[in-house]
Structure 1
Amino acid sequence: MDSAVEKHCVELVALERSGHTAVLEGNTLHVWGGYMSTAEREVFLPSDEIWLYDLERGVWEMCQMSGEIPPPMSGTCSCFLIGHMYIFGGYDDTGQTNQLYRVNLLDGDYRWKNVKAESGSPPSPRDKLCCWVFNDRVTYFGGYGHKTLDDIMDDKSFIVDTASLEQNVGWGWNNEVHVFDTTLASWREPQSSGRAPAPRAAHAGATLGHKGYVYGGRVLETTPSDIHCLDLESWTWSEIVPTSTVPGGRSWHSLTAVSDNTLFLFGGLNVDCKPMSDRWVLDVDTKTWREFDHPNNSKPRLWHTASQAKDSDVVVFGGSCDYVLLVGTYGNLTGHSHDALVFQTQPYPLFRICVDCIAKNVNNFKMLQNQLPSLPRKLLEAVQRRTSRNI
């Protein structure tokens, strides 16, 4: 890290939060936005801060942001593309938004830019949606938001929440597909074929190759366990019919690509509004779900973030430990989290095993400390990075 960055970064511990965004670049997790609960109410976290977590050293830093800073909000949709984090939509103090922002995560300036399209129109305001990245394009799907009643008429892609109707505005769920081309700075709404998923929000999505997958979510008053795939070249929808036991229906969960043909599902809120901590892996080739036990069974999460790290690890950060609509209502609820949970999804390579073993035991054995200089250079550098916070 250069001196210019060090001047506006300070070592801290990230605040607990839910409904935030997070993307991983190299070994650094970048966390922005969301909200937390205080004794009196729920508050949005500052939007001019970005939190950096070094996965190797286990150290947090907070960096100040500048430029065209988005409003504080939750439920926005983020992705990492060509060195930038893009965020779209979300919920702020005025309601849902349809603004698109980006920030360079590589130059150390953390300067926001409100991205204006050269052509096309952005989707209507919404939050709790998902996106897929392919060929320098970001494809957005679903979400909960609002439209004028005139726009909703005869619109089969939008289900109105009848409890939220106003004079000329209707809120509800959608299954629209909108694409933003980052090279052309243009929006378009491609015509898709096949049977699209029902309109939904609080679902989870992940990209494998040229296909985008979406699982679960909230559809009216239900939380299905269906999984659908959209071909991002032909714009054809297909539903995956599993050949095994399936996870229960849920919303506010996460879905993460961990290999060329597997997806990692974690947590969420089940049909009985109970937070979950179960872990599943789907093989999209065999259409088979498998559930795995793990050390974090006692740590349910919903409205968290999940990012793929090296060696196919999945890093889950933050989220709520209780039903988000009840947090702050009753004193016995544990509320939001600031934990970073790391899930191993595949066997580690020998190099990773060596680094983990040495770093874990180097301070316990004097003989091992004396032998460190004899390690191969790359192995020694990796161990030093892991143990630098304790030196």
Structure 2
Amino acid sequence: MAMARASSGLAYPERFYAAASYAGFGGSPNSSNKGAISRFENDVALLLFGLYQQATVGPCTVAKPRAWNPVEHSKWQSWNGLGNMASTEAMRLFVKILEEEDPAWYSRVPEFIVEPVVDVEMNNPKPESVIPNGNSFPEPKTISTEIDSLLETQDKDVVLDGLGSVGVYDQWVAPSVSGQRPKARYSHGAALVQDKMYIFGGNHNGRYLSDLQVLDLKSLTWSKVELKAATESLESSSPVPLAPCAGHSLVSWGNKLLSIAGHTKDPSESVIVKEFDLQTCTWSNMKTYGKAPVSRGGQSVTLVGTSLVIFAGEDAKRSLLNDLHILDLETMTWDEIDAVGVPPSPRSDHAAAVHAERYLLIFGGGSHATCFNDLHVLDLQSMEWSRPTQQGDIPSSRAGHASVTVGENWFIVGGGDNKSGVSETVVLNMSTLVWSVVTTVQGRVPVASEGLSLVVSSYNGEDILVSFGGYNGRYSNEVHVLKPSHKSTLQSKMMERPVPTSVADFHPTTNAMRDMESEFDTVQDGKIREIVVDNDSEAVNIKSEETGERHIATLKAEKEELEAALTKEQLQSLQLKQELSEAETRNTDLTKELQSVRGQLAAEQSRCFKLEVDVAELRQKLQTMETLQKEVELLQRQKAASEQAALSAKQRQSSAGVWGWLAGTPPDQKTDS
């Protein structure tokens, strides 16, 4: 009997009421509807609740709950977020989601729908529950498991034993890990290889690190990778020291890890690509060809096919960059790209992702004076930059954030705005460019930090985000995980506008033109009809009709030309406005950069003036020392002359005594005359 009543054969109201009964929703539409059955995850139950209210009651007009009640607040958000969605559309989505979660739901409908209860005294069935839109459906059985109890479990402490125990969606939780935790750090590199998250380098209290740690995501156990002697290149076996670094990028490539660029104590002139072989546990510097980019840190490195796309960063002299380079991993050849269009302003610590293996997306980042929340797209086929219009809950400005892609969704976590860490985890649907907030954390937690890392793993077919480290006033070495739901994708599709904003501006003009065209056609048709009535001759009627039609065709052609010209002018005006806005934004950024540089220059000038004063004092002292030196030399010469004269006198005296003795004069006698 159930097979004969396939759900696809029912009209949407009937399918919806059957689905609502099966899902445990019923009673008065304004009641709490606490019958969502436990087979659904929390986010699905919430979404079904919102769609049910939208279909039966209409748009949410209930005031936002004042008291802090996570359950009621979540239910209100689910309903209110649907806006002015039509009742039939809400019914359709309700049934669609139910069929996605449980494709065989309709075969089990008789188990849950209660047949009308017969009133013995009246010998008539009790009336079905009537809802405001005039439809009705049977009262369902009461399901013991309630949506409130499902949601309340999210607020309890969750003890995890591996990723398989993550039971909540769209919330960050801290799993219990074993093993020796790595040193706390930020600006490190992280990559995933075969259910293992590798952490390399980073910054701790101003010190660059060079250790390689690994977290087994199946057992959530930390261990340190014992390294063997590094080699200069793939062709050479001569060992080289592994320089500690931070601000680098770590990319998994087959069974190897690639570390690209980064800040070091003694920076090189150009970017160095280091390779770690997971089988031999050795590091080596890879030999590359072509002109390598200048050394830098805080850049973005995105793997696209067999190439690495490197954008922006900060060089060793603290100069911000916005250049673009591609490294072909098959030939290990560098290629500097001169893309057309307006590129993002120079920046570092931004996020990058690739969509459909063709479009490179750049979001956020910072300069010395400010942070950004702009979104830029590079078409990797035409190598042309563009700045599309963002929709939804556009994120605030940030730098130092981390990101991963799951299908067409781009998740962005953490970062800072020069004041505090960013608490929202956001997601961008890269197909529709609609932003939405996944969750918000409270307090100073590691996922609201700068310089954290993020990877995405898979467990039982579900994707799980794993974050590590970061800095928000203190260094972190904690691990947090989040299991995203499909709700963000569905919300993005709901919020998607059928026409881009730039084209929507033309709607009033287009509608007005359509009204004018309709009125014009009506007037012309009336004139033709008058000519037909007033003329008795059929030939005159035909001639008049032909003349009127030619006149109408001429006017329509002229109107189409004017519309085309007007549309072209409006497009040019819109493009000029966009270019002007980008120029003003860039001018503002450059002005802030200039002010920052001026401040640095003033500090250097003050320091230079102080050094000049010190030099003048030293010169004066040096001149005094030279004068004293000359006086000392003069005194030394005078002393030497005096000693010489005394010696000569003594010698003469000694000589006179000898000659007197020879002449017979006693030595003690003296001549007085």
Higher strand share: 1
How much has 1:289 moved relative to structure 2? 0.6
Paired position in structure 2 for 1:316: 467
Paired position in structure 2 for 1:115: 286
Q: Deviations over 1:312-365 (max 9, x none)?
A: 32111111122xxxxxxxxxxxx11011111111259xxxxxxxxxxxxxxxxx
> What is the rounded CA distance, in whole Å, between the counterparts of 2:367 and 2:441 in structure 1?
31
Q: Please tell me the residue identity of whatever aligns with 1:304.
A: L
Q: Deviations over 1:170-189 (max 9, x none)?
A: 54111111111111011111
Q: Residue 207 of structure 2: which of 43, 68, 78 is its match?
A: 43
How much has 1:308 moved relative to structure 2? 1.5
**Structure with more contact order per residue of length (Cα contacts < 8 Å, sep ≥ 6):** 1
Paired position in structure 2 for 1:200: 347
Q: Residue 133 of structure 1: which of 299, 303, 325 is its match?
A: 303
Q: Residue 33 of structure 1: which of 190, 193, 201 is its match?
A: 201
How much has 1:121 moved relative to structure 2? 1.2
Q: What is the identity percentage for the equivalent residue pairs of Structure 1 and Structure 2?
A: 22
**Counterpart contact for 1:258–1:345, Cα < 8 Å:** no
**Counterpart contact for 2:355–2:430, Cα < 8 Å:** no
Q: Please tell me the residue identity of whatever aligns with 2:275.
A: R
Of 335-344 and 272-281, deviating more is 272-281
1:233 aligns with 2:381: yes
Q: Secondary structure at the match of 1:269?
A: coil
> What is the rounded CA distance, in whole Å, between the counterparts of 2:456 and 2:443 in structure 1?
20
How much has 1:277 moved relative to structure 2? 2.3
> What is the rounded CA distance, in whole Å, between the counterparts of 1:72 and 1:124 in structure 2?
18
**Counterpart contact for 1:11–1:62, Cα < 8 Å:** no
> What is the rounded CA distance, in whole Å, between the counterparts of 2:292 and 2:419 in structure 1?
33
> What is the rounded CA distance, in whole Å, between the counterparts of 1:26 and 1:278 in structure 2?
29
**Counterpart contact for 2:251–2:259, Cα < 8 Å:** yes
**Counterpart contact for 1:256–1:264, Cα < 8 Å:** yes
Paired residues in the alignment total 293
Structure with greater Cα Rg: 2
Paired position in structure 2 for 1:89: 261
Structure 2 residue ranges without an equivalent (≥5): 1-177, 232-240, 488-673
Q: Please tell me the residue identity of whatever aligns with 1:60.
A: W
> What is the rounded CA distance, in whole Å, between the counterparts of 2:414 and 2:402 in structure 1?
7
Q: Please tell me the residue identity of whatever aligns with 1:93.
A: K
Q: Deviations over 1:65-116 (max 9, x none)?
A: 23135300111122112222111111111247621111123x2x22111011
Q: Please tell me the residue identity of whatever aligns with 1:182.
A: L
Following superposition of structure 1 onto structure 2, how do residues 289-368 of structure 1 map, counting pairs within 5 Å?
289-293=435-439, 298-299=444-445, 300-310=448-458, 311-322=462-473, 335-346=474-485
> What is the rounded CA distance, in whole Å, between the counterparts of 1:273 and 1:281 in structure 2?
23
**Counterpart contact for 2:423–2:441, Cα < 8 Å:** no
**Counterpart contact for 2:423–2:440, Cα < 8 Å:** no
Paired position in structure 1 for 2:182: 14
TM-score, L = length of structure 2: 0.42
Higher helix share: 2
Residues 78 and 234 of structure 1: CA distance in aligned 2, closer, same or farther (over 3 Å): farther
Paired position in structure 2 for 1:53: 215
How much has 1:294 moved relative to structure 2? 5.1
Q: Please tell me the residue identity of whatever aligns with 1:181.
A: D
> What is the rounded CA distance, in whole Å, between the counterparts of 2:294 and 2:381 in structure 1?
24
How much has 1:63 moved relative to structure 2? 1.1
**Counterpart contact for 2:273–2:285, Cα < 8 Å:** yes
> What is the rounded CA distance, in whole Å, between the counterparts of 2:463 and 2:242 in structure 1?
32
**Counterpart contact for 2:393–2:437, Cα < 8 Å:** no
Q: Please tell me the residue identity of whatever aligns with 1:184.
A: T
Residues 70 and 207 of structure 1: CA distance in aligned 2, closer, same or farther (over 3 Å): farther
Residues 11 and 274 of structure 1: CA distance in aligned 2, closer, same or farther (over 3 Å): closer
How much has 1:194 moved relative to structure 2? 2.4
1:99 aligns with 2:261: no
Paired position in structure 1 for 2:398: 250
RMSD across aligned positions (CA): 2.1
Q: Secondary structure at the match of 1:94?
A: coil
> What is the rounded CA distance, in whole Å, between the counterparts of 1:73 and 1:268 in structure 2?
20
Paired position in structure 2 for 1:180: 327
How much has 1:234 moved relative to structure 2? 2.9
Q: Please tell me the residue identity of whatever aligns with 2:452.
A: H
Residues 221 and 298 of structure 1: CA distance in aligned 2, closer, same or farther (over 3 Å): closer
Residues 295 and 197 of structure 1: CA distance in aligned 2, closer, same or farther (over 3 Å): closer
Q: Secondary structure at the match of 2:422?
A: strand
Paired position in structure 2 for 1:360: none
**Counterpart contact for 1:75–1:128, Cα < 8 Å:** yes
How much has 1:134 moved relative to structure 2? 1.3
How much has 1:295 moved relative to structure 2? 6.0
Q: Residue 242 of structure 2: which of 63, 70, 90 is its match?
A: 70
> What is the rounded CA distance, in whole Å, between the counterparts of 1:61 and 1:236 in structure 2?
44
> What is the rounded CA distance, in whole Å, between the counterparts of 1:248 and 1:27 in structure 2?
32
> What is the rounded CA distance, in whole Å, between the counterparts of 2:284 and 2:477 in structure 1?
27
Residues 55 and 143 of structure 1: CA distance in aligned 2, closer, same or farther (over 3 Å): same
> What is the rounded CA distance, in whole Å, between the counterparts of 1:64 and 1:232 in structure 2?
39
Paired position in structure 2 for 1:263: 410
Residues 220 and 17 of structure 1: CA distance in aligned 2, closer, same or farther (over 3 Å): closer
How much has 1:50 moved relative to structure 2? 1.4
Q: Secondary structure at the match of 2:383?
A: coil
**Counterpart contact for 1:91–1:126, Cα < 8 Å:** yes
Paired position in structure 1 for 2:639: none
> What is the rounded CA distance, in whole Å, between the counterparts of 2:456 and 2:368 in structure 1?
31
Q: Secondary structure at the match of 2:415?
A: strand
> What is the rounded CA distance, in whole Å, between the counterparts of 1:296 and 1:281 in structure 2?
18
Q: Please tell me the residue identity of whatever aligns with 2:369.
A: E
Residues 73 and 140 of structure 1: CA distance in aligned 2, closer, same or farther (over 3 Å): same
**Counterpart contact for 1:104–1:111, Cα < 8 Å:** yes
How much has 1:256 moved relative to structure 2? 1.4
> What is the rounded CA distance, in whole Å, between the counterparts of 1:95 and 1:317 in structure 2?
26
Paired position in structure 1 for 2:420: 274
Paired position in structure 2 for 1:387: none
How much has 1:209 moved relative to structure 2? 2.9
Q: Residue 284 of structure 1: which of 407, 427, 430 is its match?
A: 430
Residues 203 and 124 of structure 1: CA distance in aligned 2, closer, same or farther (over 3 Å): same
> What is the rounded CA distance, in whole Å, between the counterparts of 1:181 and 1:16 in structure 2?
34
